[in-house]
Amino acid sequence: MKRLTQLSAPVAALALLGALSACSSGSRTASGGGVYTTIDAKNPITAGAPMNPFNASGTAFIGYNTMQLGFDKKNALDPNDFFPGLAKSWTSTPTALTVELQPDAKWSDGSPVTADDIKTSMAVALTQGKAASGTALLTQGLDVAAVKSTGPHTVEIDQVAGAHNIGFTRLVLTQFIVPTKVYGSLLPADIWDTIAASQSQDPADADAAKAAVDKLNAAGQKISAFAPKSDVSAGPFVLTRVNPGSAVLDKNKYFYGAAKIAPKQVVVRHYTGNEQIWGYMTNGELDSAPYTSIPSNVLTQIQRAGYQRVDTVSYVDAAIAFNESVAPYDNRAVRQALAHVIDRQTVTKVGEPVGGTASPATTGLIQSAAKQLLTPEQLAALDPYTHDLAKATSLLEGAGFRKSGGKWMLPDGKPWTITLQTVNGFSDWIAASTVIANELSSFGIPTKPAVTADFATYQKEMADGKYPVGWWLTALGPDPSAAYQRLYGTSDGYTAVGAKVSHASGKDSGNWVNTPTSYTVDGTALDPGALTAKLSTMAPADQKPIVQQLARATNQELPMIQIWDYTNVQFTSPKHFTNFPRQGQDALLVNPPGVWMMQGYVQAK
């Protein structure tokens, strides 16, 4: 009896806990059919954030309650390839984009989406740091000069006269479309006059143009800080409640494609890091989850919880970067030798076993983009820098290095050691660094990994040239221009404003890669920075010859050694919903689930 009394307290406590959890697990039990629970990779949700897509931390979810005219398919060969959004269709001319709006497009209060809303949205977009003047306006900025209604559901968006911006269609289609009734009053009454003044190309008006850009930016600050009282959405869902750590969106009954939308509610969960997302999945709490870096054992647990893995292309590659202002990394043979010593297959197996594929060759592009942009003959002609210690030895000896007591000595006879810099929070880089350090040390180059406290510090110290050898993300895309800007852009001292390119090096220049400004490839001299800047002004069809030159040059010179291409590993759960996009549907899978639903995917079981 006494024993029973002693046990009664903990038993009662456990019973209470059980009762509490049963009372509060509404979202889990309600998920059967109606509630779609997920994570938004671009929005971890932070306490106190306003329901405003223009706020950097705003509680707004693209594809759910935040709409665009279209959704980017991330097609490397056609940057204007989009899924329809609020635009049912569109036609481009060299001077304008004509958009046919979805005829039934409505806001969540039942009012129609009008040409005036598109006009307001473009004006708001121009206040969000997108306004530019001079050459930048004509080649890179969002150079919208006017928005006109040309029919009941058609809108013409004009480009500034004389502009030559190859990204005009893409830039217009990807702007957030917001209601005039909510955001219109935040714009100055003379907004379009100000926009016109900012776009003047007359050098005599330069000061007025600058003043207009400043005025637009001031309006932009007001807009980004704005906290609407409630959400007015033209998307499939409308935000109804925000907790400090999650948000719930209800189905928008006025959405033009409401019949295709199966979930009655979407719950977006908060996260601070990969571990939380793994935890939600191992508990079966999510219906889909975006990419997170995952070790093999966690993958097993997630799959055991019933999740299906879907791999798609990811336009990111992990690379070892060099500061070529520091000897011996200014020597191409040294970089090539190191590439032969590092066994990328082994390193990838340890560093990114689930979400990585060892890079077949360094080109500045991920392999799938390289396959699209280079011919099979060009791909075959690239040096794969296979794991070949004999070749590494020969390259180093040719560069004047000698081995003594099992250790490589620099040409001046001093010992050669490497500190391989990585950053806290990048567990894949840290694990891979250990393998690389072992490989290099075994080869005779004592190497130790070093970890910087956080990424902001890493970035600053890298830009200051403090790390001769360190990890870096490269091949960002899908646009090859973006991928090569990563190599031969600001981090290499190049600044491009339109077609005009300038180069800087030395202290405070931000140039930490320090490649030479001229490479000789197959007997021809080329300037990688100038070629990269040229890429950004060219139509995709015309880009290939330059991409091929840059890929060849990068493969020969190795300003960085590409270690692995990331794979966008996502997970879907068949527990409550079916008909998820499948492997191979990359265009869909690079978009959030709200876009999948708009296309008729994700149906209740």
Partner 1 sequence: MKGLTRRLLVRLGTGLVMVWVVATFTFFLVHALPGNPGDAQYEQYLTQGMAPETARAKVAVIYGFTSHEPLLQQYTSYMWQLLQGNLGVSISYTGEPVVQVIRAALPWTLFPVLTGLVVSFLVGVTAGVVAAVRRSSRWGGLLSLSGSLVAGVPSFVLALLLAFLFHTLWQILPFGDTSDVTLEPGFNGPYIASVISHAVLPVATYALLSYGGWLLAMKSSVVSVLGDDFILASELRGITPLTRMRYIARNAILPLFTVLALSLGFMFGGSVLIEDIFDYPGLGNLLLKSIGARDYPLMGGAFLLITVAIVLANILAELLYSVIDPRVRR
C-beta closer to partner 1: residue 190 or 454:
454
Whole-number minimum distance, CB 486 to partner 1, in Å?
8
As a whole number of angstroms, the distance between CA 125 and CA 110 comes to 24
CB of 227 to partner 1, least distance (A): 7
Nearer to partner 1, 148 or 170 (CB): 170
Q: Least distance to partner 1 from the beta carbon of 124, Å?
A: 12
Q: Three-class SS of residue 385?
A: coil
Nearest to partner 1 of 54, 408 (CB atom): 54
Looking at the DSSP bridge assignments, the partners of residue 112 are: 106
* Residue 471 token pair: 């990890």
Q: Where are the beta strands (DSSP E) in 515-593?
A: 519-521, 524-526, 560-572, 577-578
Q: For residue 75, give the 3-state DSSP assignment.
A: coil
What is the closest distance, in whole angstroms, from the C-beta atom of residue 206 to partner 1 in the complex? 19
Q: Which is nearer to partner 1, 437 or 595 (CB)?
A: 595
Closer by beta carbon to partner 1, 17 or else 539: 17
**265-275: burial string, b at 16+ Cβ within 10 Å, e else:** bbbbbbbeebe
CB 60 within 8 A of CB 66: yes
Other C-beta atoms lying within 10 Å of the C-beta of residue 349? 16
User: Smallest distance, Å, CB 439 to partner 1?
Assistant: 27
Q: Following DSSP, what letter does each residue of 310-378 receive, concatenated? A: EEEEEEEEEEEEE-TTSTTTT-HHHHHHHHHHS-HHHHHHHHSTTTEEE-SS-SSS-HHHHHHHS-HHH
CB of 114 to partner 1, least distance (A): 25
Instruction: In angstroms, give the least distance from the CB of 102 to partner 1.
Output: 24
How many angstroms separate the CA atoms of 78 and 535, rounded?
A: 14
492 in Cβ contact with 484 (< 8 Å)? no
Residue 483 is encoded by which pair of tokens?
A: 């991928």
CB-nearer residue toward partner 1: 35 or 234: 35
CB nearer to partner 1: pick between 152 and 306: 306
Shortest distance in whole angstroms from residue 127 CB to partner 1: 9
Q: Hey, CA dihedral for 520, 522, 524, 527, is it positive or negative? A: negative
Closest approach of partner 1 to the CB of residue 189, in Å? 21
Measured from the CB atom, the residue of 401 and 484 that comes closer to partner 1 is 484
Nearest to 376 by CA among 358, 360, 357: 360
Nearer to partner 1 by C-beta: 6 or 296?
6
Of 25, 12, 3, 35, the closest CA to residue 575 belongs to: 35
